[in-house]
């Protein structure tokens, strides 16, 4: 049922981008990292950030109004809680995800044009450049998945496995969770070459480098490494069309040992495609992005897995976010 919207509700939603835009600008300037510590003036910040003094002063005052900065007789100051959350020097910060959301906002602003033309939004890099935007995207996935991965893995009956293949595994957040839950197992992370440095650093920091192989490649073009008995396909199927997913599942099927299993983490939509609500909104993210995908129902994913030869397709975990998990088996 549609919501009963008031004029105030509509206008509040229509202007909701403003605070986000202020936050994204500060994140792209790395303001919360570089200006943390002692109080500073607007001119000092402009010099440190190589920014226009008038523009930066206006941005700083807006950040004060939003509660991201303090302002007093000694100047501006980044509060400790903001430093902990948005400084790149602090463990557990979410700066990369804020920057990635800024990239998303630049695409979402083109939504009407995308719907009108059927063409993806123009990719507009941040002031940090396209390469830095991609690095932020990879790190952002850890911002979101890292704190929850252990809990999610523990919540599903994965059972014992010998060798995990983490397809498009990024910097390894989920590999870490699986290997910590299964101390005798090892893993292979398969992802693009530019992802490998972050994955290597994260495996070393987790003390798992000797249990993880890093294989660079493109799952859209290359065969997957063979020999695993468990494949993890996390937050990938939404990037693909159904035809792409069928091709990917066929590659996973070929790579798995007989009796091996595939686990898919993603949104699982109801047949109406309007719930869960987060999945319906995420489909917009795919629409404006450089991908051809969307969010899929269990029926669609089951059909696509079965087309590749998988059997016993079932939902192991149902969630209103991207943490639903579907499992299927390769016959032994």
- The pLDDT tens digits along the chain (332 residues) read 789 999 999 999 999 999 999 999 999 999 999 999 999 999 999 999 999 999 999 999 999 999 999 999 999 999 999 999 999 999 999 999 999 999 999 999 999 999 999 999 999 999 999 999 999 998 998 888 889 999 999 999 988 999 999 999 988 999 999 999 999 999 999 999 999 999 999 999 999 999 999 999 999 999 999 999 999 999 999 999 999 999 999 999 999 999 999 999 999 999 999 999 999 999 999 999 877 899 999 999 999 999 999 999 999 999 999 999 999 999 98
Cα–Cα nearest to 261, from 155, 162, 169: 162
Taking each helix axis from N to C terminus, what angle separates 242-255 and 298-307, rounded to the nearest 10 degrees?
A: 50
Q: Is the dihedral of CA 198, 203, 205, 210 positive or negative?
A: negative
- Between CA 129 and CA 102 the distance in angstroms is 13
CB 185 within 8 A of CB 212: no
How many other CB atoms are there within 10 angstroms of residue 115's CB atom?
11
What DSSP designation does 38 have? S
pLDDT for position 292: 87
What domains can you pick out in the chain, each with its CATH number? 7-92 (1.10.10.10), 143-329 (3.40.50.150)
Q: What is the pLDDT of residue 171?
A: 84
DSSP string, 274-330: --SHHHHHHHHHHHHSS-S---EEHHHHHHHHHHTT-EEEEEEE--SSTTEEEEEE-
Helix (H) or strand (E) holding 102: helix 95-108
């Amino acid at each position: 049922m549609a919501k009963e919207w008031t004029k105030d509700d509509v206008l509040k939603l229509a202007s909701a981008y403003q605070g986000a835009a202020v936050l994204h600008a500060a994140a792209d300037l790395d303001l919360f990292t570089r200006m943390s510590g002692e109080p500073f003036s607007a001119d000092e910040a402009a010099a440190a950030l190589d920014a226009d003094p008038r523009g930066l002063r206006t941005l700083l005052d807006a950040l004060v109004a939003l509660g991201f900065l303090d302002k007093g007789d000694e100047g501006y100051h980044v509060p400790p809680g903001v430093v902990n959350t948005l400084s790149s020097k602090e463990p557990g910060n979410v700066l990369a995800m804020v920057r990635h959301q800024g990239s998303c906002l630049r695409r979402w602003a083109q939504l009407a044009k995308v719907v009108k033309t059927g063409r993806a939004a123009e990719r507009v890099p941040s002031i940090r450049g396209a390469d830095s935007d991609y690095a932020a995207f990879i790190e952002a996935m850890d911002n979101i998945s890292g704190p929850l991965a252990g809990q999610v893995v523990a919540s599903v009956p994965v059972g014992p496995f010998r060798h995990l293949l983490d397809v498009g595994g990024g910097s390894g957040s989920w590999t870490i969770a699986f290997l910590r839950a299964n101390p005798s197992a090892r893993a292979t992370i398969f992802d693009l070459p530019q992802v490998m440095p972050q994955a290597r650093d994260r495996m070393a920091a987790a003390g798992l480098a000797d249990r993880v192989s890093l294989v660079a490649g493109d799952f859209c073009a290359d065969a997957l490494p063979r020999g695993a008995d468990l494949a993890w396909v996390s937050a990938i199927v939404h990037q693909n069309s159904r035809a792409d997913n069928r091709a990917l599942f066929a590659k996973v099927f070929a790579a798995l040992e007989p009796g091996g299993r595939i686990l898919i983490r993603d949104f699982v939509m109801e047949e109406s495609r309007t719930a869960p609500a987060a999945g319906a909104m995420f489909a917009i993210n795919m629409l404006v992005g450089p991908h051809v995908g969307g969010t899929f129902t269990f029926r669609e994913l089951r059909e696509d897995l079965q087309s590749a030869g998988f059997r016993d397709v079932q939902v192991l975990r149902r969630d209103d976010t991207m943490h639903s998990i579907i499992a299927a088996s390769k016959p032994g």
